Structures are given as structure tokens and as C-alpha cells.
Chain A
């Protein structure tokens, strides 16, 4: 008796697996699958991305009453699991969801997780739209059903080099410190290539392991060479460590530029007044003059988010939310939830949103001219946009005062 029930269940599961669309479209509900690091070393940003997904789903269900696709109104549901920042665990979670027939996937955070999981969804013919992996490998291996909000890592530095050229005096030398993982390394490689193209000399390019407890030695090298700009494509905690040790060892550079870290509250708390003048990237800012359907303007998104969620707002919430908007826009255009038409509509997508204009390249990553990073600098405690000039809310402070001359 019991045995037969199990057999029946198995048969039902097998049927589900054979017909992915059915599971997706159940009861006028669009369910997004995927995993997010809610624990483990990527959890801090992982939670940010997750809040972004949740914010979009909440807004669409509660404020808009769902979306109409092909004449039917759908609600949005999230079915996301904690991958604990572990690629192996994420892979088995995604494989299970693929087996259960999930068709639309949202991304985890970190290229190390996105890369293996998008390989699984691609092979199974499912779609992934993600805002957590910028590594080139995600986009350059011929995948047709993987889309990223961010431009690939090697293209993320073009806007930064433009700013370097505009600074007065112009930047002549740069040193780079990067974490030795796929994303940070590609970012650093991209920086080296973009800098070379612009004729800026790269003095050092130093790799750090994922777990660092001391960068004294690296800073000894930096002090010996003194670049105009020190670029760190490192993770949050490494960025804090580098900055702290720079301050205490009086390692001064005219500009400290850390792609990840300075945006966070933890960074500001750890460094206090010394966090001022540090430059970072952001893919979105609430002060940006972008707007579109759904939330309205960037400021409207920020207001809605703050009214409903506690976690400190960063650009990851915005880029997470825009993943879901992209799916819905594509499905609306396609007029169906079938996988192939939605995929084609995503590839052809071009719509204005609170996040800016969303368009993907042929390889699936964000168009660098539209979705490349803005540069922000902390000035007297708040982050100001300093580049591109069209969006800028403040002039860059350059060169930065010496550490021990700050008040």
C-alpha cells in the first residue's frame, strides 16, 4: 500500500519533469526558482540580492495586483533556497529544481556559484536571469539562455578609465590588488586591458587569496611604488582590511578605489572618518535620474523598499529587482510563459526602468554602455555620484588628503 503511494508520487514527479511549463504556470502563478547565499561567506551581499527579488515580487503582487501576460493575470512567487555560499550545494539545489520542472531561474550571488548553476539550467533548456555573476566565462561559453544584468567583468572598467582621464591632474599610474577568484580576477584583467588602452601605466597587479589576515607586505610594495590610484577588486572584508592597514601604516595614495566594500554600512562603521574620499562602483544609485514602468523613478524604488524592508539599501537590491522586471517584460512581449518565446524576448529586450535602460548584449551580459557601473565617492559621510558626468551629484575629491590630515 505504502509502496504504491511512493510509486505514484514518483510517476507524478516524472510527469512534472517532462512538462516544465505546467509547474510554472500553476494557478496563475509565475514561480521563480534558484538559490541565494543566505549563510556563508557571500551571505552579506546574497541577502541584499534576495531582498531585491522579494521587493520586486511584493510590489508586483501587492501594488500592481500581478501582471497580465497573454490575457491572464499572474502573481509572482519565489522559491529560493539557501546555498550557503557553496557552489556544490547550489548545484545540487538547482539540479533538483530543474528535475522538479522549474523553468525560470534567478541567480545566486558570486560568479563561483552562478557559473556552475547556469551551466545546469542552460543544459536543461531553462532560463536564468541573474545579477550576481559578472565573470566572463558565464557569457563567453556560448550559452543562449543565461542573462546577466551586469556587464561581463572585463568590460566593467571602461567607465572607470574614463573618469581617470578626466581627473585633474590626470592619472598616470595605477596599482591593482585583486582577490584570486574568477570574478575579481576577470575584473582586474579587464582593468589592466582598459588602462593599457588608455595609456595609463599599471605598476603592480597583486593577487590575494580569498582569506587574508594581513596585507602589510602588499602595502610595503605599494608604499615603495606609490601609484596615483590604488584599485582593489577585492571582497568586502578584504577591502576593509586593506583600508585599515593603509591608514595605520600611513600608506597614502591620491585615490583609493575599491570596487566592493565601501558601499556597505560595515565599511563606514569600521573606518569612520577615514571612509571619506574612498571611491567605489555602483550599478545603481537612488539619486540617479532613471525611471520607467513598475516602481517609477530610482527614488521611488528606494522609498518603496525602505517602507517595506529593514536591510540597508544597496545597488544589489535594485539589480536583483530588475531581474524579475526583465522576466516579466519579456513574457509580456512574448505573450506567453513558454520557455523559447520568453528567451527570445529577453534577448531582444530594451526597456526603461528605475534601474536605467535594460538591454543585453548578444552574449547575454548587460550592455556596458547602459548598464556599466557609475563611480561613487564617500564625501562627508554620504556617497556621491562622481562619474559619469551626466549623473554626477558631486565633483570628485582628488587627490585625497593624507590619512593623518583628516578630520
Chain B
């Protein structure tokens, strides 16, 4: 029983990170309908920036989430305004799949040129601490990561529910035409959505940097994780990302403990396929409806 609970705990810790790393991907998919395969690059770029802030300025990754998020917001904005918008207006939304895939390859190699191919880690003082609760044990960094993820996801939830910008994003997602006729600058909202998404990806990267080693090559895994989280939880909402992320974490953890860690990826893909067959909209569905 202790083992089961410890395994569950491990899964939830992991899931929190998955959720935060995926929520931006989910947002762009939900609002603009683009599968942004560059997402993992934003995550890893965030990790590298946090590393720079840490080594150059001694800034803790939890604090550097702010400047990292701000920088990536700008990157995401410009990216949408230029490359994504060109791709969509000259070809189609589907074409953006190819474009983002190509960009991911280019950017991955650029990251490798700038930072080298070596594996990197961020090691703040609490990296090697853990907390014991009775028989249970939790890594400090993972707890911190889960906590920050929850705070950011809650923040995004409030942004979407309570602010004009949040309502505007949801409106643009459902009815771009009516949104424009209601006075919303749809292009601007799209760029903002990309900005927010990249900022969240960057923030999650800062956290991932303290939790596990990374290199430019790891971006592929984070795009894939984001995709799975969206399939599991549903598109476009922080709640969907949270459910999907935690579920992915639990699947990972239970499989690793009871069937062997080598099978975790097989198990994730199995669940992925089952979800696509049984409930293609994810557990929480699409909060923006089928109106696209």
C-alpha cells in the first residue's frame, strides 16, 4: 500500500510538470487550431535562458521564470506575426504543421550551436533536498515544480475567466468572424495567444531545468508530451492540461513501478491510441465547442 501511494505521489509530481509544459501547446491548438510543433523548443529555450540567468546573474530559476516568460512572450509574438501568419495566409492552417516542424528542426540546431550539444542542468541549493512525510518521500525540486505549475495554471485560469483578454481569446477560438465583428483584433489576439503560450512554455522550461538534465535534443520529447497531454485531457483549457498532465504522470509512474520503466512509452502510446478511438476530444472535451 505504501508503495502504491508513493508511486501515485511520484506520478502526480511528474504530472504537474507535464501539465505546465503542455498548457501553452493546448492553448494554441484550442484558440488558433494550430498544432505547434515548435512548442518543445520554447520549453527548452526557457530552460537554457534560466540556466543563463542562474550562471551569469545567480538568479534562482523560480525567480527567473518572470524574465524568461517575458522574453519568450516576445519570441512567441514575433513568431506568430511573421512565420506562422505567413504560412496560414499563404497556404493553410494545415500547412502550419509542416512549417512548425521545420522551424523546430532549425531552432533545435540553433540552440545546439549556441549552447553546444552537452547535457545541462541547473543546480540551485535545494536540488538535493527531499521532504519526508511518514513513509513517503518527495524531492524538493519536484515539489517546487508542482507548486509553481499549479500557481501558473491557476493564474492562466483566472486570466481566461476573468479578464477581457481571456474572454477575447475564448471568443476568437470559437467564432473568429463574430469576434472580429465585435471589435476584436483577431490577429493581435492570435499573436498574444502565441506569446502567452511561449511564455508558459518558457516558465515550465525554467522549472524543468532544475528537475532534470536537458539538451537541445530533449525538445522533441516535450512536444510529444504536450501532444499526449492534450489528447488525454482535452484542448484549450488549463483544467484539461492539468487532468491530462496528471494522468500522463500517473500512467508513467504506475507502468514504471508495476510493469517496468522500459514500458512507460509503450503504455503512454497505448493510452493515446485508446483515447483517440474512444474519446477523441479528451476527458474534458473542447471548451470552445465544435464551432470551428
Contact = CB atoms under 8 A, between A and B. Distances in A.
B260 interface: yes
Interface in B94-127: 108-109, 112, 117-121, 123, 127
A324 to B, nearest CB: 22
A208 B129 CA distance: 24
B217 A40 contact: yes
B6 A244 contact: no
Q: Mostly helix, strand, loop or mixed at chain B's interface?
A: helix
Interface in A221-250: 221, 236-237, 240-241, 244-245, 247-250
Nearest to A403: B128
B139 A248 contact: yes
Nearest to A273: B128
Interface in B40-56: none
B103 to A, nearest CB: 16
B36 interface: no
A220 B14 contact: no
A43 B215 CA distance: 10
A123 interface: no
A124 interface: no
A369 interface: no
Interface string A260-277: 000011100111101000
Contacts of A208: 261-262
A248 B130 contact: yes
Given A214-B252, A266-B120, A85 B217 contact: yes
Interface in B241-280: 252-253, 256-257, 260-262, 264-265
B130 A236 contact: no
Contacts of A236: 119, 213
Given A214-B10, A214-B252, A236-B119, A270 B139 contact: no
Contacts of A403: 128
Given A216-B139, A217-B10, A248-B127, A240 B121 contact: yes
Interface string B187-231: 000000000000000000000000111111110010000000000
B57 interface: no
B108, B137, B216, B257: most-surrounded residue (chain A CB, <10 A): B137
Contacts of B139: 216, 245, 248-249
Contact of A249 (B7, B130, B260): B130
Contacts of B262: 180, 207-209
A306 interface: no
Contacts, number: 125
A308 interface: no
B127 A244 contact: yes
B140 interface: yes
A78 interface: no
Contacts of A271: 123
A44 interface: yes
B141 interface: yes
B1 interface: no
B128 A248 contact: yes
B7 A220 contact: yes
Given A208-B262, A269-B123, A220 B257 contact: yes
Nearest to B268: A209
Interface in B1-32: 3, 6-7, 10, 13-14, 17
Contacts of A245: 139
A11 interface: no
Contacts of A39: 108-109, 112, 117, 216-217
Nearest to B129: A248
A240 B211 CA distance: 11
A249 B129 CA distance: 7
A264 B118 contact: yes
Contacts of A218: 256, 261
A94 B74 CA distance: 42
B14, B211, B218, B256: most-surrounded residue (chain A CB, <10 A): B256
A207 B253 contact: no
Interface string A131-170: 0000000000000000000000000000000000000000
A208 B262 CA distance: 4
A265 B213 CA distance: 13
Given A44-B119, A264-B119, A237 B221 contact: no
A-B complex: 9 closest residue pairs judged by Cβ atoms: A43-B117, A207-B262, A270-B121, A216-B10, A41-B217, A237-B213, A217-B257, A180-B262, A248-B139
20 contacts: A39-B112, A41-B215, A44-B119, A44-B215, A46-B117, A47-B117, A85-B217, A211-B218, A214-B253, A216-B13, A217-B261, A220-B10, A245-B139, A248-B127, A249-B139, A250-B130, A265-B118, A269-B123, A270-B119, A272-B123
Interface of A: 38-41, 43-44, 46-47, 85, 180, 206-209, 211-218, 220-221, 236-237, 240-241, 244-245, 247-250, 264-266, 269-272, 274, 403
Given A214-B253, A220-B10, 18 more contacts: A41-B217, A47-B117, A206-B260, A209-B265, A211-B218, A213-B14, A213-B212, A213-B221, A213-B252, A214-B212, A216-B13, A216-B253, A217-B256, A218-B261, A236-B119, A244-B121, A269-B123, A403-B128
